[in-house]
Amino acid sequence: MGLGLLASLAMCGDDAAPVDGSVDGGADGGASDSGADAEVDARAPVDAEPSPRDAFVDAPAGDGGPVDGGVAGWRAVPGLPASCDLQYAERPESVLEEIRWAPCPDGSGECEVLSVELGRRVERQIVSFTGYGANGAREPSFLIGEDDGSRLAQLQLVRAEGPSVLAAWRYTSALDNCGLGQVTTSDRELGFEVGLPGNESRLYRTPLAALPAMPESPFATLTVEEQPGAVAIQDMRLSPEAFGVVLQPGGVLWLFDEDTRIRRGGPLEPGVPGAVINDFALVGTRVFWGTGRQIVSAPTLEGPSEAWFEAAEGWFMNSIAADDEFVVWALANDDREGELWAGAVAEAASDFAPERVDRLPSSNPASLGEGLVAVYAVDPDRVLLFDLRGGPTRSWNLPDGWLGATTFVWVNRRDVGLIATRTTVSMATVFRVPLSSFDPL
């Protein structure tokens, strides 16, 4: 488990991704597996030269006490075995030379691109969403991470506003070490996984306001027996009331709150069998997930499940997202065609009225935020933006020489955050595109 998030990206592939074969497609790698498509194994937008101010200083494994933390004040994450060298930064604002928003290349409207000065050379950089626009217009955040080719990995949780680094972790990628796994956010909290050797996962949640300090103990734990062999957490969601993860292969959910710890999905659901795709949504304690051709929902973590929607023969669930207003899903078929569907959240399946929003030019997933749905399309590479509240459908073309990832960092009525990489050099970054830059179709 010490390989953590960065190593899992290197070992996976997804031919549905327009960026390159290094996009993480999760456990099954199919078009229905969109939960990790946003994580791009690429490099930073600025190829930084080595700098004397190198925050990534060597530090030994610790037992929760101080280590030789350098400028960033690296300390061992508390409560882990002494053999784990997973560390966090007491001063995360110091781990990067510079992070800022710069004007987009080629004068592409009012958009901005994330510029990162690392202060050291790295082999690759990833950028990852942390929860399908769950932050809305409030405080969207995302994860960026690097390794330097020597199995040292470093990851930062970045708030888009500013931008500013909220938290940072580092560890040595190795099967016998601990590592940072999945990471997610709500508008007020951070949730993350620490993987221990032997396939145990510790799940943590902490208020964003408490960062950069790390919680002393996990919110929940999945034992080796509960995720045997190659089974691992592939996606994670967090609401103020609940915490959930999906395991692959097998396609089952584990759901938690203060009083509940329950395994759901697949053959555990009477009348709605089938493996859970990586995408699922938590709205309070209500759960939505996709399985094969169906959308399934339960009113509470332990409540009875029922199918809310079933696709026509030949179509299958590609992604699902939900908030307290809408449920949105993308369908795909074997010809790599897509359809976008949506419906207002209801109390029960009998009250749910799904509607097809539009045909999609490709089988990419859909990302939801504040009644807007973003879908990435190719030929040309562009973002399609659908307004479920009755506004016009809009489009924004990427600058020449750039490709986008299929899942968005955030979507709201102010701007859209898109992961992109240059076609000539595999360097991932984030575009922040205001809605005023989108053209009506």
Structure confidence by residue, pLDDT tens digits, 255-278 = 999 999 999 987 778 777 678 888
Mean pLDDT of 220-246: 92
Q: How many domains does the chain have?
A: 1
Tokens of 253: 């959910």
Question: What is the model's pLDDT at position 134?
Answer: 46
- Give the H or E element holding residue 20: none
Report the alpha-carbon distance of residue 208 to residue 180 in Å, rounded: 17
Least confident of 95-99, 384-388, 427-431: 427-431
Mean pLDDT of 102-119: 83
User: pTM of this prediction?
Assistant: 0.83
Judged against a pLDDT cut of 70, whether residue 110 lies above it is answered with yes
Dihedrals phi, psi of 229, to nearest 5 degrees: 60, -125
- Domain assignment of residue 270, given as a range: 4-440
The Cβ of residue 283 has, within 10 Å, a number of other Cβ atoms equal to 19
Q: How confident is the model at residue 190 (pLDDT cuts 50, 70, 90)?
A: very high
Cβ atoms 146, 124 nearer than 8 A: yes
Q: What is the mean pLDDT of the chain?
A: 81
Report the alpha-carbon distance of residue 280 to residue 237 in Å, rounded: 8
Report the alpha-carbon distance of residue 438 to residue 429 in Å, rounded: 20
Instruction: Provide the CB-side half-sphere exposure for 107 (13 A, CA).
Output: 0
Question: What is the model's pLDDT at position 14?
Answer: 35
Tokens of 296: 């399934």
Nearest CA-CA partner of 156 in 187, 132, 190, 133:
190
149, 255, 273, 284, 320 from 315: Cα distances, Å: 42, 28, 17, 29, 14
Which residues are CB-contacts of 163 (< 8 A; sequence separation ≥ 6)? 99, 100, 101, 114
3-state secondary structure of 213: coil
| DSSP assignment of 106-122 | GG-TT-EEEEEE-SS--
3-state secondary structure of 349: helix
3-state secondary structure of 267: helix
Question: What is the model's pLDDT at position 426?
Answer: 65
Terminal-to-terminal C-alpha distance of the chain? 47
Question: What is the model's pLDDT at position 175?
Answer: 74
Tokens of 91: 């001063």
Cβ atoms 135, 410 nearer than 8 A: yes
Pairing type for strands 382-387 and 439-440 reads unpaired
Beta bridge partners of 219: none
Cβ atoms 383, 373 nearer than 8 A: no
pLDDT tens per residue, range 124-145: 677 877 664 444 446 788 898 8
Q: How confident is the model at residue 294 (pLDDT cuts 50, 70, 90)?
A: very high
Which residues are CB-contacts of 120 (< 8 A; sequence separation ≥ 6)? 48, 50, 51, 54, 56, 148
Residue 379 belongs to domain with CATH number: 2.130.10.10
Cβ atoms 103, 86 nearer than 8 A: no
